[in-house]
């Protein structure tokens, strides 16, 4: 059974505290938090003050996804509240040193790749990763359609991890719903990021269980 990480980007923040209670009751595995700077991606979301606030109100692990330029500059700050801390392979950091620093600060490390980036590009980084995030949409906005090319990437990454006996979570983000979730899991995904599909539901807990049971 895959783990579920609802994307906070799709939340209504005036009622989000109630959503957190539903997530806890539904057994959500982590909360996915997209940090966007308007430079690396053409959108601006939120920063550490919001993450700090969420951390105060829940014990659900926080899965922080940095969609920002040169993320190494902010790793120390975000690591104060993140449980999983990830950044983009394409974002202009020293990827090796940034992954090492995340682990030094006590977080699980994650590298993320865009749809156009081949999975082979990060094979030499896998030993430094606790999780790899495969984007199944172009990063920056919620509500996009799932790109099937992500399935081949997940399969290749799973095969490489198995070949090297690496215990790494494979996360997929973008367009996850009742149709695409089983495909992603069959391809090797162990963590599903679900945004609008979860938050648009009248009964969030039921929607979470639906995905878990697929």
11-20, 106-115, 135-144: least confident range: 135-144
What percent of the chain is modeled with pLDDT above 90?
79
Count: domains in the chain: 1
Contact 211, 194 (CB under 8 A): yes
Summarize pLDDT for 144-178 with one digit per residue, the tens. 789 999 999 999 999 999 999 999 999 999 999 99
CATH number of the domain where residue 36 is located: 3.20.20.70
The boundaries of the domain holding residue 98 are 3-213
Summarize pLDDT for 41-77 with one digit per residue, the tens. 999 999 999 999 999 999 999 999 999 999 999 999 9
Length of the chain: 214
For the annotated catalytic residues, the residue numbers are 34, 173
Residues 127 and 130: their CA atoms lie apart, in Å, by 8
Amino acid 7: pLDDT = 93
For the record, the structure tokens of 192 come out as: 């599903």
Is this structure's pTM higher than 0.75? yes
Summarize pLDDT for 180-200 with one digit per residue, the tens. 999 999 999 999 999 889 988
């Amino acid at each position: 059974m895959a783990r579920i990480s609802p994307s906070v980007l799709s939340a209504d923040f005036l009622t989000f505290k109630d959503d957190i209670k539903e997530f806890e009751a539904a057994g959500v595995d982590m909360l996915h938090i997209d940090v966007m700077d308007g430079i690396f991606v053409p959108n601006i979301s939120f920063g550490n003050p919001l993450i700090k606030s969420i951390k105060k109100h829940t014990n659900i692990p926080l899965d922080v996804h940095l969609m920002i330029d040169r993320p190494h500059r902010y790793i120390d700050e975000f690591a104060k509240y993140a449980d999983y801390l990830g950044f983009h392979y394409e974002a202009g950091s020293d990827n090796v040193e940034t992954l090492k620093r995340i682990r030094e600060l006590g977080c699980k490390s994650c590298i993320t790749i865009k749809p156009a980036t081949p999975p082979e590009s990060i094979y030499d980084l896998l030993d430094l990763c606790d999780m790899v995030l495969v984007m199944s949409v172009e990063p920056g906005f919620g509500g996009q359609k799932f790109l099937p090319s992500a399935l081949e990437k997940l399969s290749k990454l799973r095969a490489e991890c198995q070949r090297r006996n690496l215990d790494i979570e494979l996360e997929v983000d973008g367009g996850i719903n009742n149709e695409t979730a089983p495909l992603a899991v069959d391809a090797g995904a162990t963590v599903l990021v679900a945004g609008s599909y979860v938050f648009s539901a009248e009964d969030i807990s039921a929607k979470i269980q639906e995905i878990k049971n697929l």
